[in-house]
Amino acid sequence: MAVLVIADHDNASLKDNTHKTVTAALKLSGDVDVLVAGKDAKGVADAAAKIAGVRKVLLADSDSLGQGLAEAFETLVLPMMAGYDAVLTPATSQGKNIAPRIAAKLDSAPISEIVEVVDASTFVRPIYAGNALETIQSSDAKKVITVRATAFKAAAEGGSASVEAMAAGPGASKTRFIEQKLVKSDRPELAGAKIVVSGGRAMGSAEEFQRVIEPLADKLGAAVGASRAAVDAGYAPNDYQVGQTGKVVAPELYVAIGISGAIQHLAGMKDSKVIVAINKDGDAPIFQVADYGLVADYKSAVPELMAALTAAGK
Amino acid sequence: MKVLVPIKRVIDYNVKARVKPDQTGIDLANVKMSMNPFCEIAIEEAVRQKEKGAATEVVAVSVGPTQAQETLRTALAMGADRAILILTDQDLEPLAVAKVLKAVIAEESPDVVIMGKQAIDGDNNATGQILAALLDWPQATFASAVELSAGKAKVTREVDGGLQTIETDLPAIVTADLRLNEPRYASLPNIMKAKKKPLDVKELGSLGVDTAPRLKVLKVTEPPKRGGGVKVETAADLVAKLKNEAGVL
């Protein structure tokens, strides 16, 4: 059996999610190809060719692929599936956008956000906001899978696969791209960061969120996250949301500041290696998952933490 | 413009799901059930489109057990005009639900379908995308703003790294993300009025759709629990522990 991995990238650089998805794919088959679909993404394809274990890289180039339009991915990938038994993509917003659409065209039940490959047709995935794990066996001939990247180690570098250009397919006839507004940041990306500092509703305003959370994140070299409550209130952009329906993170260190710890937030961060919670309510549910809890008002605790980090040479 | 809104009855958002001791699933006996939060957002959006004159009729549809009628009544109380229940006691997979919805759409011919991006039980985030593919319609998933005009939908989507705006031809599938709107509470007079609005119930079997499961659930287990942590007294203690004990600084 052969497996296709759809790469996660922004046309300029390959994302680490791809390496992690390759690891999952290699558990299904030794024959793993990577599809880089985008616009002017040759550099991304060259990077994918260096992932150990990859057989070959296919590069498709068009405007609508570069814009991530779902129909363009569907019409590109569908004919390719004659040569593959499974297609995997990271469970990013783009992966979630395209995978079920491809599955439907194959009359296959998509398998969302796997965290473990038991065998080539059996997978483990979280349900009910991560409060349960289901082990499911697929009877479909062609499997379409999204992968929760944080659950897999990144495949190593060191491969030297060939890169083959391919036709981009007919594109998206019923959808037009208008614009994209991306949040620009010099900080690490939330999904793959080693340290994440998140703020909650207790911040009270966007200004306060920036004043408190961002300097601490920068001191730790961390990515910035937020609870749904903070995002809904407009204190932080939507892209910062950690939780059941936002981003799922599993950093070495997760620092939750002024976050109570609703089930939906815990679903997005409880697999972090070390969790720190700072909250003035000692009964907040976040303390049930925290390795280290500091019951204190963030207004005094965060400046003290900054000072202690400085004293420790950070 | 006619808007179809598929909705699902699920475990209430505030209830923690518990795994059955025999590992066959989640214990839903005597558990509070509600409309899936993303479906509430979808209903709200459809009703707002009608209130501002972009839509003329809002039809809510659910595929589920007889109790899903309560969920549909909630949708009617929020402002949907009529409702359809496709009655089944099977727990259908997203692919099967999408096939059922395709059959409903063949009868109803909506101009746009607005639905939640994800149900909080299965967490699949798939039915809307599947439905779009089955119908060969365009899709605008994870919407945080929707503008409907003659034959077109302009949708702002929550994507990795920010926001994307696309325009699709109609008919199309739009899936709602959290920040599309804040759903209203149904008022008592509207709850009373909703009791008189039409609610058709059809047996799943009458649609002639193949809903056989493709995924066999072998077991459902609890995730590994985190060990209890410790409370620290000061920020300096915290930094010392992170550095010396946890080794993450």
Interface membership of B36 toward A (CB under 8 Å): no
Interface membership of A115 toward B (CB under 8 Å): no
How far is residue A311's CA from residue B103's CA, in Å, rounded to a whole number?
66
Candidates B39, B91, B101, B123, partner chain A, best to mutate (most A CBs within 10 A): B123
How far is residue B108's CA from residue B99's CA, in Å, rounded to a whole number?
14
Facing residue for A104 by CB, picked from B95, B215, B246: B95
Question: From its phi and psi, is residue A11 left (phi > 0), alpha (psi between -120 and 50) or beta?
Answer: left
- Check pLDDT > 90 for residue A191: no
Per residue in B123-164, pLDDT tens? Answer: 999 999 999 999 999 999 999 999 999 999 999 999 988 899
Looking at 3.40.50.300, 3.20.20.370, 3.40.50.620, 3.40.1390.10, the CATH number of the domain A2-166 comes to: 3.40.50.620
Q: Which of residues 180-209 of B touch A (CB under 8 A)?
A: none
Higher pLDDT among residues B78 and A182, named by residue: B78
Q: Which of residues 129-158 of B touch A (CB under 8 A)?
A: 129-134, 137-142, 144, 154, 158
Contact in structure between A269 and A199 (CB atoms under 8 Å): no
Which residues on B lie below 8 Å from A298 (Cβ)? none
Interface membership of B212 toward A (CB under 8 Å): no
Cβ neighbours, 10 Å, residue A185: 16
**Residue A128 parent element (H or E):** none
Interface membership of A40 toward B (CB under 8 Å): no
Break chain A into its structural domains and give their ranges.
2-166, 190-311
Facing residue for A292 by CB, picked from B117, B144, B232: B232
CATH class of the domain defined by A190-311: alpha beta
- In the three-class reduction of DSSP (H, G, I as helix; E, B as strand; rest coil), residue A11 is classed as coil
pLDDT at A156: 96
Using 50, 70 and 90 to split pLDDT, how confident is the model at A176? very high
Per residue in B207-225, pLDDT tens? Answer: 999 999 999 999 999 998 8
Residue type, B193: K
Please answer yes or no on whether B238 and A111 come within 8 Å at the CB atom: no
Please answer yes or no on whether A253 and B120 come within 8 Å at the CB atom: no
How far is residue A168's CA from residue A166's CA, in Å, rounded to a whole number?
6
Which residues on A lie below 8 Å from B239 (Cβ)? 305, 308-309, 311-312
Specify burial of residue A52 (Cβ count, 10 A radius: 0-12, 13-18, 19+).
middle
Average pLDDT, integer, range A7-15: 96
Average pLDDT, integer, range A56-81: 97
Secondary structure of B46-111 as H, E, C letters? HHHHHHCCCCCEEEEEEEECCCHHHHHHHHHHHCCCEEEEEECCCCCCHHHHHHHHHHHHHHHCCC
Which residues on A lie below 8 Å from B95 (Cβ)? 103-104, 107-110
Read off the pTM. Answer: 0.94
Facing residue for A176 by CB, picked from B117, B166, B234: B166
Interface membership of A305 toward B (CB under 8 Å): yes
- Check pLDDT > 90 for residue A111: yes
Average pLDDT, integer, range A139-162: 96
Which residues on A lie below 8 Å from B93 (Cβ)? 109
Candidates B166, B180, B220, partner chain A, best to mutate (most A CBs within 10 A): B166
**For chain B, which domains are there?**
2-244 (3.40.50.620)
Mean residue pLDDT across chain A = 96
Per residue in A212-271, pLDDT tens? Answer: 999 999 999 999 999 999 999 999 998 899 998 889 999 999 999 999 999 999 999 999
Specify burial of residue B191 (Cβ count, 10 A radius: 0-12, 13-18, 19+).
middle
Task: Return the structure tokens found at A161.
Answer: 């696969």
pLDDT at A309: 96
Q: Which residues of chain B have pLDDT under 70?
A: none
Average pLDDT, integer, range A287-297: 96
pLDDT at A74: 98
Q: Report yes or no for ipTM above 0.85.
A: yes
